[in-house]
Amino acid sequence: AEILQPRIEQDGLTKLLTQTELPLVEVLAEMEANGIKIDVKRLKELSYEFADRIADLEEAAHRAAGKEFNLDSPTQLRKILFDELKLPIVKRTKTGASTDQEVLEELAEHHEICRLIIQYRQLAKMKGTYLDALPTMINPKTGRIHASFNQTVAATGRLSSSDPNLQNIPVRSAEGQKIRQAFLPGEPGQVLLSADYSQIELRMLAYFSRDESLTKAFENDLDIHAVVGAKIGGVPLDQVTPELRRRAKAVNFGIMYGLSPFGLAQQLKIDKEEAAAFIDAYFGQYPGIEELFTRILEGAKRDRFVSTLLGRRRPITGIKMTTGRVRNLPERTAINTVIQGSAADLIKQAMVRVHHRLHEENFAARMLLQIHDELVFEVDVERSHDLAAMVSFEMAHAIDLGRVPIKVDVGVGPNWLDLEPMEEETART
């Protein structure tokens, strides 16, 4: 403490430490002790279901290769893909041609075997990591699993979870969603309640960039992807096609990670020139965003660190270019840290506030999980509306983003998947 205290004060981190990180220790300790109940029977059913799907995919891959081979052996896979099927080598490792996820995604256009292997790997990973492992992690005394939440692992300031890592369940895939179905409230007469920040990183982008168009879209509670699609496509909002919206969404989410025309082209299956034009149009319509990125990179080059909303610092070296759109890893990291790290500041602050109110007002509810922008609670059915109102209020007011409103989506249900949205009026009171 004698060594670190002066450094904390010198770097202006005292408030972050005393008002966010230290109070959060108590919140996380309680969440870890609370744990969450899981449906072992449902996990077993899913394990059998996944095993059948995995076997089918293995068989299909053997047919596509014209022979049997071990899908889990990189050496055998390399031989099939590059020696026998003559697919182009995308990148090399010390041991030979790479067969990682990125490579397979690129090669999927050339041969269906790559798509089959991607699916096979995803299902095998989910089966091993969740379906088969979670039941073995149940604490015999509590009948629940108790994950650890780590404050000092992710460099952006985000929390991470381990033993088990619940932040890696792929929520966008149908299979990942089925795993969420196995997470339950602890007692009869209770439900799970999930409160999720809506598009918080894009709202942070609007706040930091002070871009008028982006800010107005959030102020008016418009569909941000459709708004961006209309701007870039030069069409009225009601004429935005699903395809245009999909492209705008890919750019919206990719822009903070230094999305390149090549990356966008791959993602949307369009040619590189079209992707480049789309990205140019995006920055043309939202000039505040490009100005923000330049400011962040110039600051990082000068100070050798970047800061989040609450002043958390991350050392950054290797900034080469402060303007332009082609970015190296340190440049992407600098921008991503400011946006994602500030979203992490916000939810941590919200957790501290929610925790205090749960205790002060004796809610029949407990905070169980934090998954990046989402908090999960168990609550007695009759208090679910009160909890929804309290949690969404505290989450929306944890930090003031000026003209950019913070929106919280709340859902309630019998498990972590089957959540019914709560009416917005309830959540606002």
The rounded distance, in Å, linking the Cα atoms of 95 and 267 is: 28
Please give the pLDDT value at position 260. Answer: 86
The rounded distance, in Å, linking the Cα atoms of 315 and 300 is: 8
Span 120-173, pLDDT tens digits: 999 999 999 999 999 999 999 999 999 999 999 999 999 999 999 998 887 888
Angle (deg, nearest 10), helices 224-233 and 212-219 = 140
- Write out the E strands in 8-64: 37-38
Is the separation of the CB atoms in 395 and 350 below 8 Å? Answer: yes
Please give the pLDDT value at position 201. Answer: 95
Give the pair of three-digit tokens for residue 2: 């004698």
Say which amino acid occupies 304. Answer: R
CB count, 10 Å around CB of 202?
22
Give the pair of three-digit tokens for residue 9: 């004060």
Say which amino acid occupies 253. Answer: F
State the DSSP code for 325. Answer: S
Span 370-406, pLDDT tens digits: 999 999 999 999 999 999 999 999 999 999 999 999 9
- Cross-strand partners of 273: none
Helix (H, G, I), strand (E, B) or coil at 398: coil
**109 vs 229, higher pLDDT:** 229
Please give the pLDDT value at position 105. Answer: 85
- Cross-strand partners of 375: 195, 370
Is the separation of the CB atoms in 113 and 66 below 8 Å? Answer: no
Which band of pLDDT confidence, cut at 50, 70 and 90, is reported for residue 422? Answer: confident
Give the pair of three-digit tokens for residue 14: 């005292």
The rounded distance, in Å, linking the Cα atoms of 346 and 391 is: 13
Mean pLDDT of the 95-105 span: 86
Span 62-75, pLDDT tens digits: 999 999 999 999 99
Which band of pLDDT confidence, cut at 50, 70 and 90, is reported for residue 424? Answer: low
The rounded distance, in Å, linking the Cα atoms of 138 and 37 is: 8
Q: 156, 45, 312, 423: which is closest to 167 by C-alpha?
A: 156
Whole-prediction pTM value? 0.92
State the DSSP code for 127. Answer: I
Please give the pLDDT value at position 427. Answer: 45
Which band of pLDDT confidence, cut at 50, 70 and 90, is reported for residue 86? Answer: confident
CB count, 10 Å around CB of 242?
9
Is the separation of the CB atoms in 256 and 201 below 8 Å? Answer: yes
How high is the mean pLDDT of the chain? 93
CB count, 10 Å around CB of 93?
11
Please give the pLDDT value at position 191. Answer: 98
Please give the pLDDT value at position 429. Answer: 41
Burial profile 5-15: b = 16 or more Cβ within 10 angstroms, e = fewer:
eeeeeeeebee
Which band of pLDDT confidence, cut at 50, 70 and 90, is reported for residue 17? Answer: very high
pLDDT over threshold 50, residue 428: no
Please give the pLDDT value at position 73. Answer: 92
Which band of pLDDT confidence, cut at 50, 70 and 90, is reported for residue 425? Answer: very low
Question: 280: which residues sit within 8 A by CB, 6+ positions away?
Answer: none
Span 216-273, pLDDT tens digits: 999 999 999 999 999 888 899 999 999 999 989 998 988 888 888 888 888 888 888 9
Burial class (CB in 10 A: 0-12, 13-18, 19+), 173: middle
The rounded distance, in Å, linking the Cα atoms of 336 and 292 is: 12
Q: Which residue has the tokens 């891959």?
A: 61
